[in-house]
Structure 1
Amino acid sequence: MPSNPNRRYRAAAALSAVSLTVTGALAGAMTTSAEAGVDAAASTSSSTSAAAAKQKTSLTVLPPISQFGKKPAAAKKAKTVVTATFTPAKKGRPVSLYVKSGGWKKVATTKTTQFGIADFTIPTKKGATYKATAASYRGLPAITAKPAKNTWKSADFTDEFGGSALSAEWAQRQPFYNPAGLRNCAKGDPSASVVSGGTLRLSVLLDPARTAEKCAAKKADGSTLGSFAYRLNGHISTDGNHDFKFGVAAARIKFQKEKGGHTSFWLQPTSYNPDATSAKTDGAEVDIIEWFGQGGRQSGLTSFIYEPTPKGPKKTGGFLKQQDRFLANKKDAWYKNYHVFSVEWTPKHYVFRIDSKVSAVITNGISHVPQYPILSLLSSDYELANAPGDAKSLPQHSYVDWMQIWEY
């Protein structure tokens, strides 16, 4: 498949945060004439210096990948995410973010997570320089991360789904019933991928050509799960038109409420090798986000990596724990509002985020080959029994407001 001719490698904007050791000298202990006082001061200074020496920090400026809201919105109005990391990790440590504007101006405050991460969502300001300072906390002296600049330019790929049809970058996937892929009862169809009102509507629909028939859904072992209505699925990709290797991919999505199908934003390697044994040379399936509907078992959000190995495919990841902590407020729901789901893909890791918050980090199965994005709402055989009332639960709809890719 052709690679993307507009790929721009930007080493200066590398996403892998570089750790640094604190080098600033701390104020010495107060000297007294009493021997005991001198000893105590020396001990305190030594202890403080040791605590300072073991601290490390990093500061990463990401593209505009945060845009919670009820309605479609212009991608250019999304907010930039700045991530500061402090080790040793201490949950609840106050952190302040500053932007250089003549002097340093404080623009936001937050507290670290249990992983020592402080995430900030701020208005996008191209070329701006930021620094983050963590307050003294639980025996650790205050520390400032090395400043970082917003070097991101416009996205290398953007689709805001304007007009009334998909752009030429997109192609339909798997327009056939696929028993081998555990979709004996569903196939991709253009009628299930509709552009309207500034969004892409992905759907699960009844197949109008087979309403009088029932399908025998089957498990991977060949046993029958039951009989269900035939379905059409929204399933598109940029395979053959746009791929990338390393960078940030993000999509603003509002999910369907019902179970019985799963909405996905994912990546596949451009060159498919059925005998693949290594993600580094052959790529991996990167499931940035999957949503299986609201409520009960086999529901909610997941992020996965499927990597090829000599022993067969290896799966890493799973359902997100306490997923509602990523919602904006108590009235929010994944099927009520739009959120931005993204992956930061580097040679060393995948970092998954929901708006500004890190939802998962995976360090194995790292692809080093070009991959292309896929958007889908699929009804696989194994989940059809979860659809309330089978055909009565249809149609189901999810909405994608925009998708963007920034490469480096």
Structure 2
Amino acid sequence: MSARMSARMPARRLLTRGALALLLPASLLAGSTTGSASESAAPAEPPANVAVKKAKRQWVKLEALPPIIQHGRGVASPDAARAALTATLRPVRVGRRFELQVRQDDMWTVVATARQDRRGRAQFAAASTGGNGALTYRVKALPHAGLRKVTSAPVSTARWQRPSWSDEFSGDRLAPVWSHRGREYVKTARRSCSKGDPRAVTVGGGAARLSVIKDPDTMKKCRIRGRDKVPGTYAYRLNGHIGTQGAYSFRYGHAAARVKFHRLRGQHGAFWMQPVDGMHPGADGAEIDVVEYFGDRHPQGGLATFMHRYDARGRVSSGGWVPDSRSYLHGKRDGWSKNYHVFSVEWTPRTVVFRIDGKETRRMRVGVSDVRQFPILSLIAADYEIPKIQGRRLPQHMYVDWVRVWETPEP
């Protein structure tokens, strides 16, 4: 059991940052350039995580996000994840070169470069901590097409050094904060042939494994009726479906999960959040589907993000498939079922921003929830999916390395 909560929660275990501190990669420091010590003296207090600077004819914003970048084949400590830094510059000049610089002692060292995209952004992955804790960064936009160089104000990773809540699944069973959901077959629901069950969730090797498996307690077959009606009969299934309802919830901040998804279509894996009072007509808040994956070789790429809420018209949904989802992978050999990736959401009173490994995929400003939400992890076989996979090709598995939340102050 490994769920870890903030100091105000008794289940919190202190993070051992000293032993796990992420140092600046030597590969980035090799051949780097340094600036004069007189360029900027170290402040008494670390800068904020967001800084905006206006210069003649130009405007530059730099934001340091939590450590939400950590793709790879195996499990890894979340303390070794890299921070996402996003620079936004106006006017937009696609291809303009940026340098990311870190303050070391009293000098600035270039650790990465990037080019401005069509949205005016340059995105970086960088260490969140150094030998002495949080790090301070700035970006420099180099001269381009008649525009002079401009340097941002500094930002710090200090705000994100300690998550408000974390689970690394380091034991051999789920922590008490998790409970199993949807544990009954409901014939009138759109998951009439499947239900949640503890047997579909295991913990070991540093990860939680959520599965879709055949229900060993029945030899009967299920008929899919209602709006998803299809001919034939299908094996009943058990789903891995867990959440922290009644044990942990939050209002505003960043939530992230490092996930390796299942391979075949016929079920969908998800990291999502629901209001503490549930989703039903008249309820406040909105379901936030941080990520859903519908299997390899899906014609739309398989990855989706959504928000669902109720208003006077009934259920309202927004979002959809992640456009060009393969562009967020790291090479041709990468895949959502081959390697772990970090899927995150930034939730503020006005905006919900979805990211994969620190790169923004969608931004929503309508119907943003203003009530407390709780995290959910699931691999579920919905009725409309079941015909896409034969029972003999079960089980299917989804792996979750870690889940973290960095709460931000409520307004």
- Counterpart residue number, 2:156: 149
- Counterpart residue number, 1:167: 175
CA–CA separation in structure 1 for the residues paired with 2:265 and 2:84: 32
Residue 297 of structure 1 deviates from its aligned partner by 3.3
Tell me if the contact between 2:288 and 2:308 (Cα under 8 Å) persists in the aligned partners. Answer: yes
SS in 2 for 1:385: helix
TM-score by length of 2: 0.83
What are the superposed Cα offsets for residues 263-319 of structure 1, whole Å, 9 maximum, x if unpaired?
000000112363337xxxx11110000100011436510011112222122211111
CA–CA separation in structure 2 for the residues paired with 1:197 and 1:209: 28
Tell me if the contact between 1:64 and 1:124 (Cα under 8 Å) persists in the aligned partners. Answer: yes
CA–CA separation in structure 1 for the residues paired with 2:193 and 2:298: 23
Tell me if the contact between 2:51 and 2:152 (Cα under 8 Å) persists in the aligned partners. Answer: no
Question: Does residue 132 of structure 1 match 2:139?
Answer: yes
- Counterpart residue number, 1:403: 403
Give the 5 Å matches for 1:379-390: 379-387=381-389, 390=390
Q: Could you say if the C-alpha distance between residues 128 and 323 of structure 1 is closer, same or farther in structure 2, counting changes exceeding 3 Å?
A: same
Pair member with larger Rg: 1
Give the 5 Å matches for 1:222-237: 223-224=229-230, 226-237=232-243
- Counterpart residue number, 1:272: 278
Question: Does residue 208 of structure 1 match 2:231?
Answer: no
CA–CA separation in structure 1 for the residues paired with 2:193 and 2:261: 22
What are the superposed Cα offsets for residues 183-239 of structure 1, whole Å, 9 maximum, x if unpaired?
0000000011110111100000000112x21111235x3644542110000000011
Which of 292, 295, 299 matches 2:294? 292
CA–CA separation in structure 2 for the residues paired with 1:309 and 1:133: 46
- Counterpart residue number, 1:28: none
Tell me if the contact between 2:6 and 2:164 (Cα under 8 Å) persists in the aligned partners. Answer: no
CA–CA separation in structure 2 for the residues paired with 1:305 and 1:19: 30
CA–CA separation in structure 2 for the residues paired with 1:304 and 1:21: 35
Q: Which runs of 5+ in 1 are unaligned?
A: 23-48
CA–CA separation in structure 2 for the residues paired with 1:149 and 1:18: 10
Which of 32, 37, 54 matches 1:21? 54
CA–CA separation in structure 2 for the residues paired with 1:312 and 1:274: 9
- Counterpart residue number, 2:13: none
Q: Could you say if the C-alpha distance between residues 66 and 296 of structure 1 is closer, same or farther in structure 2, counting changes exceeding 3 Å?
A: closer
Which of 108, 112, 115 matches 1:111? 115
Q: Could you say if the C-alpha distance between residues 136 and 90 of structure 1 is closer, same or farther in structure 2, counting changes exceeding 3 Å?
A: same
- Counterpart residue number, 1:364: 366
TM-score by length of 1: 0.84
- Counterpart residue number, 2:21: none
Tell me if the contact between 1:207 and 1:230 (Cα under 8 Å) persists in the aligned partners. Answer: yes
What are the superposed Cα offsets for residues 309-330 of structure 1, whole Å, 9 maximum, x if unpaired?
2212221111111111111111
- Counterpart residue number, 2:313: 311
Identity %: 40
Q: Which runs of 5+ in 2 are unaligned?
A: 10-45
What are the superposed Cα offsets for residues 14-72 of structure 1, whole Å, 9 maximum, x if unpaired?
87x565432xxxxxxxxxxxxxxxxxxxxxxxxxx5xx1xx332211111111111111
Which of 56, 60, 63 matches 2:63? 60
Q: CA RMSD in A?
A: 2.2
CA–CA separation in structure 1 for the residues paired with 2:52 and 2:99: 18
Please state which structure has a larger fraction of its residues in helix: 1
CA–CA separation in structure 1 for the residues paired with 2:175 and 2:114: 40
Which of 360, 372, 375 matches 1:373? 375
